[in-house]
Chain A
């Protein structure tokens, strides 16, 4: 009976502490967002990304028309009340296609960057922490091999070999983006490795795994995050580019790159496809960059403007 009670107590305590941790993390996120939203850049960035995310998640409810419904009689129409952005080469509503296109853009950029960041940062910190040893040289070698290829060529070749699909695109983009993160993570780790708080952790008896996960990684995040923000923007562009070349998602899927492709083909008949898809891509890239910049400032507890008064 006693054992059972102890077991229950243990379980409850774990549950409590878990809730507390989540509560603490949520508070942290709220705090970070409040800092971001005080900055003009942040507000603009969050708004743009928010809009795009909403489009991506709630596309079936937001889009006025079915993105695949064709109205051949009404092709290349100019913006009108019914089709706010006009229609494309098959009479499909451009606005709806752009809204659905946000899904592809978001999936590819967030997915690709996430994989690249996770793998890159882990490899980079391990390499930096063991600088000079075999594992460091090994990781650097792998990374340098990937970097030796021009990024575009590597992407094209891999996509051509693996076949165009969203998942393949994410994997390929992640692979080509990863070296940057490894390099940055390694460089940051090298400089942080000698900091006094790492030394203090070692003197407490912390093992290497703990030092890397709890001390090093949280402190190297700012440059990684801003790089990720820029990368997300770049990945949207690359996705658009691949789809433009016909190596991305296949039509009739609505993706900004596809709209761009056909818009280019039919530019003499109607400029609207190119205009709206370009604006969508540009806005997404802008939004990501602004958000990443203000996130970086918000994430660094020391960088607040309060430190200006140097008495």
Chain B
């Protein structure tokens, strides 16, 4: 049984129009951040979620942890229905599924020192009543992520970007979760620090048997660490499959354009697919296939009918009318 099952997840946000706009008939706008997504994550697996800004990948991460209430769809964690859980069960769920936010610095309370930040998971879930034990656990956590126990007295602003990231990783792992949603864990970090953080996260995965929902726009990293990958565009998954299938044989035009745009060191300078225009707004997605306005292989069917995610080969799904062979 997969650790996480997501079926037809939709998360919409309401963008309230001001009073004057309502007067003129322009009602509340709906931002369809996530519009019908289905995928599974197995235990100990790394599921890479790729896409550019506005595609909804961060919202997927937040919805899966119920930090944002999904509008419709089903999410099963360890077989239990997540969206219909009571408060107590939800509290227990939080023990098993954690979040590593995109910006490490701003996800640390600037007025709490590291010791307090790392004690918080233990205090919230009342793991133990003895302060000494909590202190011991905090010191252990710091050691595991490569920091020193003395750092517990320091404040977040005293740390570099990479170190702040390590602290957030430590906090996420404090309660030995089974699933960690890592939202751009290496964004803003230097090349050498990125390598250190990735190594740390791989080590943690091996040690604690974690599954990652790894959200990133950095294709090199996704290629390196993922077992399965899904490519998102404007709230929908356009292509999904095993790492080998996706990288060796990208079928969806957006995936192809994305891969070709990434600057690659020492690559032979090949013809790039340069996309025209900008990503449209998720408030008014285009009719039919959402990528059709920018697709160079578009035909009339694409503009009228939305393609479904179909399994093209074993562990490779595409949502494109042209990829039916």
Contact = CB atoms under 8 A, between A and B. Distances in A.
B243 to A, nearest CB: 27
Contacts of A20: 131
Contacts of A14: 131
A147 interface: no
A165 interface: no
A2 interface: no
Nearest to A18: B131
B94 interface: yes
Contacts of B121: 204-205
B116 to A, nearest CB: 8
B120 A13 contact: no
A151 interface: no
A204 B94 contact: yes
Interface stretch (A42-50, A195-203, A244-252): A195-203
Interface residues of B, number: 29
Contacts of B131: 13-14, 16-17, 20
B107 A197 contact: yes
Contacts of A16: 131-132
A122 B124 CA distance: 22
Contacts of B103: 196
Interface residues of A, number: 25
Contact of B106 (A10, A197, A210): A197
A218 interface: yes
A74 to B, nearest CB: 56
A203 B67 CA distance: 7
A203 B65 contact: yes
Interface in A1-53: 10, 13-14, 16-17, 20
B91 A205 contact: yes
B33 to A, nearest CB: 16
B107 A200 contact: yes
Nearest to A205: B94
Contacts, number: 72
A195 B106 contact: yes
Nearest to B98: A203
A206 B124 contact: yes
Contacts of A75: none
Contact of A206 (B107, B120, B129, B168): B120
Interface string B97-128: 01101110011111110000000110011000
Nearest to B106: A196
Contacts of A83: none
A201 B120 contact: yes
B166 interface: no
Contacts of A268: none
B110 A210 contact: no
A197 B102 CA distance: 11
B250 to A, nearest CB: 33
Given A20-B131, A302-B157, A215 B109 contact: yes
Interface centre among A10, A14, A197, A210 (most CB of B within 10 A): A197
Contact of A205 (B95, B155, B168): B95
Interface string A176-215: 0000000000000000000111011111111100100011
B145 to A, nearest CB: 16
Nearest to B168: A200
Interface string A291-311: 000000000011000000000
Contacts of B130: 10, 13
A17 B120 CA distance: 16
B236 interface: no
Given A203-B98, A206-B120, A197 B125 contact: no
B258 to A, nearest CB: 27
28 contacts: A10-B129, A13-B131, A14-B131, A195-B106, A196-B102, A196-B103, A196-B107, A197-B108, A197-B110, A199-B67, A199-B101, A200-B101, A200-B108, A200-B171, A201-B109, A201-B120, A203-B65, A203-B98, A203-B99, A204-B94, A204-B121, A204-B171, A205-B124, A206-B120, A206-B124, A214-B109, A301-B155, A302-B157
Interface of B: 65, 67, 91, 94-95, 98-99, 101-103, 106-112, 120-121, 124-125, 129-132, 155, 157, 168, 171
Interface of A: 10, 13-14, 16-17, 20, 195-197, 199-207, 210, 214-215, 218-219, 301-302
